Amino acid sequence: MSSYGRLAILCWLVAVCTHGQVVQRVWPERIVVAPGHEARVAVEVANPGAVDVVIELVVRLRYGIDAEDVLPPSPIAIPAGRSTTTTVAFAIPPDRKWGHEVIATLANGSEAREFFTVGTNPWELGHYITIFMLRGRKESGDIDRTIERWRDSYVTAFEGFSWQPSVFDGMAPPELEIWRSGQGGYKESKEDWKYLIDQGHKQGIAAITYIQCFSYGPYGMDFARRHPEWLTFGADGRPAGAWFDVDKLSAYRDAPEDQGFDTPGGITTGRFLLTRPEVGDFWIDQVIASVDMFGWDGFRSDGMPGIDSGYDIAGNLVEAKDRDHNAEYLTKVRQRITERFPNFLYGWNNVAGGYPRMHNSAAEEAVMLKDAYSLYEHFRSAPDPKSDYHTWKKMVAHLQQEGDAVREGGGFPHAGWMASLHNLEAVASASGVQIDTWTVEPPSFANYRRFEFRWSEFLWDNKLRHLRPATDAVTVEAPASIWWQEFVQARDLPNGGRRMIVHMVNLPDNDNDAWTDQPGPEATNVTVKLLMPPGLKQNRLLVLSPDMEGDVVTVSIADDGTVTIPTVVRWTMLVAEYTK
Amino acid sequence: MKPKGKTAVHCRIVILLLLTAALGLAAPVTITDDGSTFHPADKPERRSGSRLFRISGMTQQYGLKTSIQQQRGEDGAWRTINSHVGMPLPTEANWFHSAFFGITANGRTIQDRDVVVSIDETGEQGLITFSWQHPLVDARVRFLLEAESDKLLMEVRWEGRPELKALAIEFVCYPQGYRPNPASVAKQEVLNRRMITAVRDIRQVNDVALDLPEEWWQIYQDTLLERAPFYNPSGPCALAILPDDVELAIEPEDQTMVKITDYPVMVKVNLAVTSGRARFALWDFTGKTTTDAEAIVTQQAPALLEHLRHASWLPTAITSFNAEEQVRELDNLAAALGDAGEPAVTNLRTRLTDLAPRLEALRQDLPSFAGEQQIMDELADYRLGVWQAARPTRHAPRVLLLEGLFGYAWRVAPIVRQAWGGEAVRKGDHSWKYWIGHRVSWFPATMDELLGFDVVVMSDFPQDPLTPDMRRMLAEFVQKGGGLLVLGGTYAYGAGAWAESPIEPLLPVQIGGLFDLRKLTKDPPLHLTEEGASALGTHQALGTVPWVHEVTARPGSTIWMTAGERPVAVAGTAGEGRVVTILGAPLGDQPAPCWESEGWPALLAGLLRYLASGRSEP
């Protein structure tokens, strides 16, 4: 070998041996950790060098405005050319809640981070997504890939949408392994659903089943036929709330696998008469049996079984004169299911704020809202220029009217289902409402979802209240395109403190341009002057934006407390905390 | 290897298409009457309604719709003040969905009155006719729907009074749509209508005279909407005018004029009053480009011109009537019936001798409306006579099964298929959606088509999906000798709303209230009565019926089956037909119900055989 050759090998060896070790991945085992439990985080470190090394690893946990826990440094031994995964654990105190960032740093400065959250209700903490048509997706590996995508999008709960052979009565079909769903005709199987739920659970993702008061398809129609005395009839002597196409029902019955995706018929079996309480009990039993069979963590009710007025099969009119009967039934639902599954999660389609109209009585809302998901599905029409929610001003007014009512009741306001975008995420979260979308977002959009996940405490905390007029508490000097007066919120903190939040959302002048996801012209040197609550003093202030690398915006604060934000791109949030 | 899933379906379709092509078979043309719907009155004294006829068996899914406006008279009765025909399918665009033509006599509309609609034929070809009777003229617009064709052939015929001086038809279309899509609006793009003929290509000009006969076909399109997005499929449309019967006078007011506006395109054709007829072809090219449309029209044009001249708009019952074949059919019938059938066959032979030459004459000439109707009535009567006479020779009943929500539990279709093969039963299924209304998936469009069956079974089937015409036809079918079997369910009897329909008087039971279902406190097994066993033979292991309809047997009816003391099957006659009502409903979860019993298939088959054979003594 020539001297040049020897020199080259030597150079290569030097380069390899001194090449930096890197943190390849930080991965919380569970995306949601229950308070009082341990958060385990896997840290994968690679050593691309040619010699074995031992390097020091420091893992930190950030949460709240600026709180940080640091684990003692630990040496990591990594063989040459290999990677090592070490698992660290944080004891999460019982009173801890909301988004956490875990950061792993090597002595050479290599660093990686990831996020998880702490709490008990996934609807409050992170994003919700829907899924159906699962058959065959375990074997193809698609379920595993789907869960990975959900983790990347900070999904804390998924919904099994209309997966049942019949929604009201087919939640635990012992006799079926595969089926076409009664609503939509989706191809489903028991094995695939169980696998998805099990795999989701391993990662802390809750599984929510979609429920309704309708029996669907051949399976559901046969249920209705076999229980005629359970049905409610109209004044015309016919089953109430039925719609069907016998031609399609026959086709689904005779050759289910040859059919397209359709709903051949449905019947409202789950709205029962006061004289038929056994129907309501049957359904509660169905839910319990379904949880036993599949392992659901909760339900989202899109048309709740309950008590209705109508005729029985003999033509006797049975009137439920007020909605209190239904409130009693809802109470029974929560009691009986919670008795069996103490952590069961409840979610409902709802209109708590009154627009376009109230569906439930105050007594029903009192039962439904507490610690429950509340979906404002009317809102899905918002992108349509003809919608009453169209124009962003109207949208915000309606969202906040609904969201405020849900928060007052102790629930978690969501709106959907619709395609989301940056502007919508900003406006909805700044209003205290989460947007439910059915897609896993593209990477650019995922940053907004991550931002919301980490800082959820300042967005979705249902103890936050809008301050109106906002000018009583804050003054913002900014171009007209910056919305802020609609987005000022506050809440009391333990020990007499107070938290105040000011969102600044920059939307284009042209209303429809917001739907094409354009921000307004970039605003510079926006100033925020907070009026100090009497008797309190400011002790923390943080300005955040998903449009900025690392989320935290560096601001200048004048002697009089005026905060100057150098740039507002699309969405910036100021959080201030006061103590006595 | 056996193909799976979609592949298998595709394979089957390909094989079917190849077979169809090889055998020269075309799918039959069907016309489905969705029935009349009147919209809630916007004013107490005025209302509007529509009736859609869906056409299948052509290469384009056309639909024709009558649109009616009515005004309430002083006597409270509704009176039609205008009636139009629209073409809402294959698209709401193109030929105007609510009124794609209007007829004027002496410059005034003749459609300020009721329209009479008749479906005259389905099968090898379809015929649907819209008629108006006006003081100046009786006009009839008949569409000839040819199997596997892409266009509607339209004939206007009229019989004018001496006062009739001018007759015109004006077509209206909105080629490819009504408005630009939002993206085009944002770019301030506007509609740009265009007409293409054999000799020119022009855009948005008012009052262009068509140079007939050179420009006997025209394509209408919109250059903006040609770029419609995939989710809003569109396509051009075209009109062909047989110039032979059009007024070609050189006077400007008599010329065929086209207005190509930025909204509708209107073509006014002045008809030669004395000719008595005019013929057109209309295409809707939804899903195709203008280039496609031009290629198709130019390729079809030479043959189409001759076809429009020589095609017959008469029913094939007239045009294909073959007297010699009929004679042979009667000979065969006579042989099958023996001496007992001799009087009936002789009667038919006499009628045939009378009918045949008149049918031949009708084919050679342009028949008067009354003349054509008379022959059609006589022909229908003759065919009914053949059907009635041949009844005893049929051993396998042909069943029209009208099935409602829970009707499947009676298992009529599988039992009939098992007994007599797949061709022995055809279904018309009930659909109900509050946003659409009640529909039946299929029902014979003509009496002739209904005579293809021996028995109609209504299994948990209400009256709502049947139009008044269908109900009348069904009643006539039974009275002329057809069989009717009624099976219970939540949409049958009382809840079936049969009261006041022409069917109800034919039943051997009197229907009570809407809520007539009663649960039997015990589940006594079903037994045939002596009369039932006498008609149907012995049947055992019939299970139970937990729910029965409470109705009253009519005088003259016979109870054939009971559950304990309660009647479950009641038989009767109506005219020349036989009717059996099964009063059980296939409801409940009890073990061993009748419809799942071992004995039910044989009992049902026996009932259908009995019903198919008609009443022995008229």
CB contact under 8 A, A238 and B587: no
d(CA A365, CA A327): 8
* pLDDT tens digits along B96-142: 999 999 999 999 999 999 999 999 999 999 999 999 999 999 999 99
HEC profile of B497-530? CCCCCCCHHHCCEECCCCCCEEECCCCCCEEECH
Beta-carbon contacts of B545 under 8 Å, excluding residues fewer than 6 positions away, are: B520, B526, B563, B568, B583, B584, B585, B593, B594
How many CA within 13 A on the CB side of residue A454?
23
DSSP string computed for B70-81: EEE-TTS-EEEE
Could you tell me the sign of the dihedral formed by the alpha carbons of A356, A360, A363, A366, in that order?
negative
Quick one: pLDDT band at residue A357, thresholds 50, 70, 90?
A: very high
Is the separation of the CB atoms in A297 and A205 below 8 Å?
A: no
Sign of the torsion formed by the C-alpha atoms of B307, B312, B317 and B322: negative
pLDDT exceeds 80 at position B395: no
Residues from chain A contacting residue B547 (CB–CB below 8 Å):
228
Q: Which of the residues B432, B545, B596 would you substitute to probe the A interface, choosing the one with the greatest number of A C-beta atoms within 10 Å?
A: B432
* Average per-residue pLDDT for chain A: 94
Cis status, amide bond into A256, omega within 30 of 0: no
More confident residue, B23 or B207: B207
Report the complex ipTM.
0.90
Q: Which amino acid is at A42?
A: A
Minimum distance, in Å, between the CA of residue A316 and any CA atom of chain B: 9
d(CA A118, CA A98): 5
CB B359 within 8 A of CB B577: no
Label residue B25 by pLDDT band (50, 70, 90). Answer: low
Residues B229-287 pLDDT 10s: 655 678 999 999 999 888 766 676 778 889 999 899 999 999 999 989 999 999 999 98
Q: Is B514 on the interface with A (CB under 8 A)?
A: yes
B174, B228 in Cβ contact below 8 A?
no
Question: How many percent of chain B have pLDDT more than 70?
Answer: 92
Query: Is B450:B400 a contact under the CB 8 Å cutoff?
Result: yes
A95 touches chain B (CB under 8 A): no
Residues of B in contact with A313 (CB under 8 A): 515, 517, 519
How much of chain B is helix, strand and coil, in % rounded to 5? 30, 35, 35
Helices (H), A217-272: 217-226, 246-254
State whether residue A237 sits within 8 Å of chain B by CB.
yes
- Nearest CA among B90, B145, B149, B146 for reference residue B288: B90
Alpha helix positions (H), A455-574: 511-515
Q: Structure pTM?
A: 0.87
User: Under an 8 A CB cutoff, do A247 and B433 touch?
Assistant: no
Q: Cα separation of A175 and A160, whole Å?
A: 20
Q: What is the 3-state secondary structure (H, E, C) of A483-496?
A: ECHHHEEEEECHHH
> Band of the pLDDT at A449, cuts 50, 70, 90?
very high
Contact yes or no for A525/A565 (Cβ under 8 A): yes
CA nearest neighbour of B489 among B512, B462, B526: B462
| Among A residues 262-291, those touching chain B with beta carbons less than 8 Å apart | 265
Q: Look up residue A71 and give its DSSP letter.
A: P
Angle between helices A422-430 and A443-454 (to 10 degrees): 10
CB atoms within 10 A of CB B292: 13
- pLDDT reported for residue B37: 78
Query: Rounded to a whole number, what is the distance in Å from the CA of B524 to chain A's nearest CA?
Result: 19
pLDDT digits (tens, 9 = 90+) for A478-522: 999 999 999 999 999 998 999 999 999 999 999 989 998 999 999
CB contact under 8 A, A315 and B514: yes
Q: Is the pLDDT of residue B369 over 70?
A: yes
Q: Residue A401: enclosing H or E segment and its boundaries?
A: helix A392-408
* SS3 per residue for B467-503: CHHHHHHHHHHHHCCCEEEEECCCCCHHHHCCCCCCC
Evaluate if residue B617 carries a pLDDT over 50. Answer: no
User: What is the rounded distance in angstroms from the CA atom of residue B385 to the CA atom of residue B341?
Assistant: 12
**Chain B contact probe: residue of A225, A243, A246 with most B CBs at under 10 A:** A246
Subunit contact B515:A265, Cβ cutoff 8 A: no
Q: What is the pLDDT of residue A442?
A: 64
For position B5, what pLDDT does the model report? 42
Q: Tell which residue, A96, A62, A64, A63, has the closest CA to residue A575.
A: A64
Question: What is the DSSP-derived secondary structure letter of residue A385?
Answer: T
| Contact (CB, 8 A) for B463 and B432 | no
B431: contact with A, CB 8 A cutoff: yes
pLDDT at B43 exceeding the cut of 80: no
Interface test with B, best of A169, A215, A225 (most B CBs within 10 A): A225
Pairing of strands A111-118, A32-33: parallel
Tell me which residue in A221, A235, A245 faces B431 most closely, judged by beta carbons.
A245
Helices A324-340 + A362-369 axis angle, to 10:
10
Average pLDDT of the residues in B552-565: 96
How far apart are the CA of B490 and the nearest CA of chain A, in angstroms?
A: 6
Query: Mean pLDDT across the stretch B370-394?
Result: 90
How far, CA to CA in Å, does A416 sit from each of A177, A377, A379, A425?
Answer: 32, 5, 6, 11
CA–CA gap between residue B375 and residue A1 (Å, rounded): 112
Contact B231/A at CB under 8 A: no
A27-48: average pLDDT: 98
Among B494, B516, B589, the residue with its CB nearest the CB of A227 is B589
**If phi over 0 gives left and psi between -120 and 50 gives alpha, with beta otherwise, what is residue A109?**
left
What are the tens digits of pLDDT across the range A100-127?
Answer: 999 999 999 999 999 999 999 999 999 9
Element at B415 (helix H, strand E): helix B412-420
**Average pLDDT estimate for B314-336:** 93
Torsion, Cα of A11, A13, A17, A23 (10° steps): 90
Q: What does the pLDDT read at residue B182?
A: 67
Q: Residue A570 is which amino acid?
A: R
Amino acid at A373: Y
Contact between A383 and A390 (Cβ < 8 Å): yes
Q: pLDDT tens across A269-298, in order?
A: 999 999 999 999 999 999 999 999 999 999
CB count in 10 Å sphere of residue A516 = 10
SS3 (DSSP) at B164:
coil
Strand partners, B559: B570
A238 shares contact with chain B (CB less than 8 Å): yes
Q: Does A311 touch chain B (CB under 8 A)?
A: yes
By CB atoms closer than 10 A (0-12, 13-18, 19+), residue B374 is middle
What are the residues facing A105 on neighbouring strands? Answer: A58, A111
Cβ neighbors of A364 (< 8 A, separation 6 or more) are A323, A326, A327, A330
Chain B touched by A257 (CB under 8 Å): yes
Between CA B143 and CA B126 the distance in angstroms is 8
**Dmax of chain B from CA atoms?**
87
Q: Locate the chain B residue with the closest alpha carbon to A249.
A: B405
Report chain A residues whose CB lies below 8 A from the CB of B462: 238
State residue A242's pLDDT score.
Answer: 97
Q: What is the largest CA-CA distance in chain A?
A: 106
Q: What number of C-beta contacts closer than 8 Å exist between A and B?
A: 84
Confidence grade of residue B26 (pLDDT, cut at 50, 70, 90): low
**Which residues make Cβ contacts (< 8 Å) with residue A462, sequence separation at least 6?**
A124, A406, A407, A410, A411, A412, A413, A432
- Closest-CA distance, A245 to chain B, in angstroms, reads 4
Q: Inspect the interface and report whether the beta carbons of B409 and A225 lie closer than 8 Å.
A: yes
Average the pLDDT over B148-167 and give the result.
Answer: 96
Lowest mean pLDDT: which of A224-233, A389-398, B385-394, B521-530?
Answer: B385-394
Scored b (16 or more CB within 10 A) or e, B582-615 reads bbbbbbbeeeebbbebebbbbbbbbbbbbbbbbe
Q: Which residue of A has its CA nearest to B459?
A: A246
Output phi, psi for B523, to 5 deg.
-115, 70
Question: How far is B472 from B309, CA to CA, in rounded Å?
Answer: 37
Lowest mean pLDDT among B47-51, B224-228, B526-530: B224-228
More confident call, A340 vs A359: A340
Of the candidates B485, B422, B474, B484, which has an alpha carbon nearest to the alpha carbon of residue B446?
Answer: B474
Say which residue, B362 or B97, is predicted with more confidence. Answer: B97
Element (H, E) at A277: helix A277-294
| Beta carbons of A102 and A61 less than 8 angstroms apart | yes
